[in-house]
Structure 1
Amino acid sequence: MLQLINHLPANVVGVRASGEVTRADMENVLLPAIDQLAEREGEINYLLVLDTNVQNFTLAAWWNDLKLGLKNFTKWNRIAVVSEQKGVEWFTDLFKFLIPGKSRGFTHDELSEAIVWVSGDGEQ
């Protein structure tokens, strides 16, 4: 399931992933929020908090994630992934080669730092 994270800076869309993440989650929660942010801000700052294993994303969810990335290809600015999973580090690093903008991984203890960084307030 994907849930929007409230009380983030206006230039950031954040979602918390828990349990199984499906195509419906992507289409009903993430895609509209990203589209609204891209239209409003002209760029995308995205915070993903993983409270589930990336293996819990269905194939259809991954497909929608790929379409999302391509649809807004030039608008990606910053991506912060918060997770305790060691395998997610390479995944976050992979973003650097697939899309423009910056990406960085954080632990759950660093969530506040991730929010500052993804919003651009920490300019690094």
Structure 2
Amino acid sequence: MSQINIKVLPESKANILILSAVGKLTDEDYKNVFIPRLESIIREYGKARLLLDMGDKFHGWEAEALWDDARFGFTHRNDFEKMGVIGAPKWFEWGLKIAASIIGGEIKNFHSNEREQAFHWINE
């Protein structure tokens, strides 16, 4: 089993899932952490609030993980109340624009120096 590159942060609570990502996200990250946690939140609360802190050590997705992300997002496009990203690289901004046209909830991008604002926003 490879290293898990996604971690649930302790600020997660109720329908709020806050994750930290490092390296390249893998299929295992999605199947072992991301998808089970979000599905549990959606079952219990109906809608999820997701905040992903990419930081400066995030290097994207492996192909299978990218497919996992797209498939989950499309299947659950109406199950998000809010979705935010902290420290997304410039190349990722186009993905957020595409997601905004598909996902029913509010989507917001925060610069890496806006971590506190992002945590406040996801909790509003």
Q: TM-score, normalization: structure 1?
A: 0.86
The answer (yes or no) to whether the contact 1:50–1:83 under 8 Å persists in 2 is: yes
- Counterpart residue type for residue 18 of structure 1: V
Paired residue for 1:15, among 8, 12, 19?
A: 19
Runs of 4+ in structure 1 over 4 Å off = none
Question: Residues 118 and 93 of structure 1: is their aligned pair in 2 closer, same or farther, counting only changes over 3 Å?
Answer: farther
Q: Which residue of the partner structure matches residue 109 of structure 1?
A: 113
Task: Please state how far the C-alpha of 1:84 moved relative to its aligned partner.
Answer: 5.1
Question: Residues 64 and 84 of structure 1: is their aligned pair in 2 closer, same or farther, counting only changes over 3 Å?
Answer: closer
Answer yes or no: is 1:2 the counterpart of 2:6. Answer: yes
Gaps spanning 5+ residues in structure 1: where?
Answer: none
Paired residue for 1:27, among 18, 31, 35?
A: 31
Q: Which residue of the partner structure matches residue 64 of structure 1?
A: 68
Give the match's secondary structure for 2:34. Answer: helix
Structure (1 or 2) with the greater helix fraction = 1
- The percentage of aligned residue pairs carrying the same residue is 22
The answer (yes or no) to whether the contact 1:76–1:101 under 8 Å persists in 2 is: yes
Alpha-carbon distance between aligned partners in 2 of 1:20 and 1:84, rounded to the nearest angstrom:
13
* 1:35-85 CA-partner distances (Å, limit 9, x unpaired): 01111111011111113132xx10000111112112322211111001152
Structure (1 or 2) with the greater strand fraction = 2
Q: Which residue of the partner structure matches residue 53 of structure 1?
A: 59
Alpha-carbon distance between aligned partners in 2 of 1:69 and 1:85, rounded to the nearest angstrom:
20
Q: Which residue of the partner structure matches residue 85 of structure 2?
A: 81
